[in-house]
Amino acid sequence: MCGIVGYVGPKQAYGYLIEGLFRLEYRGYDSAGIALQNGNQIGIRKKTGRVSQLAEICKQDPIKGSTGIGHTRWATHGEPSDVNSHPHTGGNGEVVLVHNGVIENYSILRDRLRELGYVFHTATDTEVAAHLVAHQLKESLKQGADPGDQQTYVRAVESTIKQIKGTYGLAVLFRDVPGLLIATRLGSPLVVGIGRGEYFLASDASPLVGNTEEIVYLNDHETAVITANSFVLRRQDGTEPTMSIRALEQTTQDTDLGEYEHYMLKEIFEQPQTIENALRGRMDDDEATAKFGGLNLDPQTLRRIDRIVLTACGTSWHAGLVGEYLIEEFARIPVEVEYASELRYRNPPMSDRTMIFAITQSGETADTLAAMRECKRKGHPTLAICNTVGSTIAREADGGIYLHAGPEIGVASTKAFTSQVTVLTLLALLLGRMRHLSHPEGKRIISQLRAMPEKIRQTLKCFDKVKEVARKYYTAENFLYLGRLYNFPVALEGALKLKEISYIHAEGYPAAEMKHGPIALVDENTPSVFVAPRCEIYPKVMSNLEEVKARKGPVIAIACDGDDKIAHLADDVIFVPDVDEHLQPLVTSIPLQLLAYQIAILRGCNVDRPRNLAKSVTVE
Ligand code: F6R
């Protein structure tokens, strides 16, 4: 949430900053702003709305400078407005900064600073940080600190962050020190790109693509002191940590829209490939099991595990639910799926044989990170199922499994979900084969998995039918999504996709649970989407479907190819290929992604940038 960029070097910073903000816009799009240092003055442009609006005002009223910072905002404190947009200034303009995170003790700090004479112009928590840096600087200069010494400015930032409670990624410029950029983090990601005689700062690696090939991720409590010819990392205690320089693996192609109108659609159609990527090199035909390079756990430890906790948020939590069913079925290990936001403050009893998996696309979700750290602190093996290489969760986990799905830019998660489910299926297979699952059963699962990219390709052909269905129902204001067993999490995920991008109220339920309450919502204007491929309890799902029809509720069914029975009962059917029951979520989730997409398009919604949302939720 909120994206930060920064540049120090010989070139004009504007180009990198604005392009970087475009690439980071998925992190928040309430407003955007930049600050550029030109000699001993800092020019600021900021504007409510999208980065394109900022670019427009910069075109009309340009600013210059070869050191600069930029920000794209997802509002937490203070409504989206020009004045609340970042960058913010401190003191009399001698400090300018951008912030990602939440300063929890901002009102105490603001009162204290007001008493000292600082005037606040915004409703943000961030302005407190700007004034505080200015105040610390003023105090130390008063006490004789050298205004020509870089350390004076570093110390002003360091003593500020000592007083802040909450989370921050901060990038700070000083009016009187041209060419100095200080960045620091706690809980909000920052990465520095190393160029030739220039440095780039960003919230994630995407703005760095095409600008540099070497990057350094900042860890919590680290501060980067950057000038055009030096980059030093410091810890809060004044020590200098070893800098771990990594190669940037992303390419510009990964982030191009290509032939697609929206990232969401592109990412939906990438799924045959992303599932193949998640499977590549991870199936062992001889042993009929799965293998992972990065779990960092020996087979004895894996065999000793008597309980698994999967923790995540949102769509990743839904993938975890599928994982629960799979692991319990294949490996007979009890699994709990915990909302990370709850787990971080709960204290459920967990034996020392409990293994934790944090499931996350971004690897930066604040709640998931905090839940993972809490479990780690208690000594559990804590692993990550993560898409973003080098993200905080990926780096802090004891081990893990990457999704290899490539950057997911559409705010609504699609390909990450199916990759998470694929990886969880492999994990269930691995754990199952260490316990109860037979060799033939393992072989069968592997051959089904291997066929999956092709099955997904076939499934995507349903898009024309989905468009027809969307045209019929896009004006509805309520939807029910119903499914059972492996398709219950799919129903939850389908409902989430619809509400987040088309703003239609949608509820997901286990189909049979409907008669315990939600059936009261059924009427001729409320479509029910039944996720009803052939399965063990297919006849029972049919009964639930009949119950909805008996109350005049329109029914859209997601069913297996050739299911004539459901075609007679439902108002509309979207067919998907018949696959093993355990793998059905991989195909049944796809028409629901497409349906949400198409309905949002017909309602004129911005599918890639839905209102109020941001891709990476780095605040609590
Ligand atoms: C929904 C969506 C969110 C994320 C959630 C967790 O489409 O994208 O619900 O799934 O914010 O994000 P990650 O997986 O990055 O931890």
Complete DSSP assignment for 333-380: --EEEEEHHHHTT------TTEEEEEEESSS--HHHHHHHHHHHHTT-
CB 590 within 8 A of CB 576: yes
84 lines ligand 1 (CB under 6 A): no
Q: How far apart, in whole angstroms, are the C-alpha atoms of residue 498 and residue 464?
A: 18
Residue 352 lies in a domain: yes
Centroid of ligand 1 to alpha carbon of 409 (angstroms): 11
The residues that are catalytic are: 2, 615
Residue 37 lies in a domain: yes
Last residue in a domain, options 204, 223, 254: 254
Q: Are residues 361 and 391 in the same domain?
A: yes
Which residue CA neighbors atom 6 of ligand 1 most closely? Answer: 313
Q: What is the CATH number of the domain that holds 432?
A: 3.40.50.10490
Q: What is the CATH number of the domain that holds 40?
A: 3.60.20.10
414 lines ligand 1 (CB under 6 A): no
Q: What is the pLDDT of residue 76?
A: 87
211 lines ligand 1 (CB under 6 A): no
Q: Count of domains in the chain?
A: 2
C-alpha separations of 524 from 90, 195, 504, 598, 603 in Å: 58, 61, 16, 21, 20
368 lines ligand 1 (CB under 6 A): yes
- Specify the ligand 1 atom closest to the Cα of 368: 16
387 lines ligand 1 (CB under 6 A): no
617 lines ligand 1 (CB under 6 A): yes
Last residue in a domain, options 235, 254, 273: 254
Residue 398 lies in a domain: yes
Question: How many C-beta atoms lie closer than 10 Å to residue 549's C-beta?
Answer: 16
Q: Are residues 179 and 277 in the same domain?
A: no
Centroid of ligand 1 to alpha carbon of 425 (angstroms): 20
Which residue CA neighbors atom 16 of ligand 1 most closely? Answer: 360
Structural domain boundaries, residue 482: 263-602
Centroid of ligand 1 to alpha carbon of 618 (angstroms): 11
CB 47 within 8 A of CB 54: yes
E strand residue ranges, 370-412: 382-386, 399-402
Centroid of ligand 1 to alpha carbon of 315 (angstroms): 5
DSSP letter string, 322-345: HHHHHHHHHH---EEEEEHHHHTT
377-426 pLDDT, tens digit per residue, is 999 999 999 999 989 999 999 999 999 999 999 999 999 999 999 999 99
Q: Are residues 246 and 278 in the same domain?
A: no
Q: Are residues 411 and 289 in the same domain?
A: yes
Centroid of ligand 1 to alpha carbon of 413 (angstroms): 6
Last residue in a domain, options 222, 254, 286: 254
Q: Are residues 48 and 79 in the same domain?
A: yes
Q: What is the pLDDT of residue 509?
A: 95
Which residue CA neighbors atom 8 of ligand 1 most closely? Answer: 413
Of 1, 313, 592, the residue with max ligand 1 atoms within 8 A of its CB, to mutate for a pocket test, comes to 313
Q: Are residues 250 and 270 in the same domain?
A: no
188 lines ligand 1 (CB under 6 A): no
CA-atom Rg of the chain in angstroms: 26
Phi, psi of 289 (to 5 degrees): -140, -175
Residue 49 lies in a domain: yes
Residue 136 lies in a domain: yes
Q: Are residues 391 and 314 in the same domain?
A: yes
CB-based contacts of 563, cutoff 8 Å, min separation 6: 533, 534, 573, 575
Centroid of ligand 1 to alpha carbon of 84 (angstroms): 26
Residue 158 lies in a domain: yes
274 lines ligand 1 (CB under 6 A): no
Q: What is the pLDDT of residue 101?
A: 92
Q: What is the pLDDT of residue 255?
A: 76
- Rounded to 5°, the CA angle 317-320-325 comes to 140
Which residue CA neighbors atom 3 of ligand 1 most closely? Answer: 314
Rounded (10°) CA dihedral 128, 133, 135, 138: -160
Provide the mean pLDDT of the chain.
95
Centroid of ligand 1 to alpha carbon of 1 (angstroms): 12
Question: Which residues of the chain fall short of a pLDDT of 50?
Answer: none
Q: Are residues 227 and 274 in the same domain?
A: no
- Specify the ligand 1 atom closest to the Cα of 318: 10
- Specify the ligand 1 atom closest to the Cα of 414: 7
500 lines ligand 1 (CB under 6 A): yes
Q: Are residues 72 and 36 in the same domain?
A: yes
Q: What is the pLDDT of residue 62?
A: 96
Q: How far apart, in whole angstroms, are the C-alpha atoms of residue 600 and residue 606?
A: 7
DSSP 106: H
End-to-end, the C-alpha distance of the chain in Å comes to 10
Q: Tokens 């208690």 correspond to what residue?
A: 378
- Specify the ligand 1 atom closest to the Cα of 317: 10
CB 263 within 8 A of CB 406: no
311 lines ligand 1 (CB under 6 A): no
Q: What is the pLDDT of residue 612?
A: 85
Q: Are residues 18 and 158 in the same domain?
A: yes
Q: What is the pLDDT of residue 618?
A: 78
Q: Tokens 């059972």 correspond to what residue?
A: 484
Q: What is the pLDDT of residue 252?
A: 74
Residue 45 lies in a domain: yes
- Specify the ligand 1 atom closest to the Cα of 497: 7
316 lines ligand 1 (CB under 6 A): yes
The verdict on whether omega for the bond into residue 87 sits within 30 degrees of 0, i.e. cis, is: yes
Q: Are residues 222 and 294 in the same domain?
A: no
Q: Are residues 159 and 292 in the same domain?
A: no
DSSP letter string, 124-189: -SHHHHHHHHHHHHHHHHHTT--TT-HHHHHHHHHHHHHH--B-EEEEEEETTSTT-EEEEEEBS-
In which element (H, E) is residue 495 found? helix 488-502
Residue 310 lies in a domain: yes
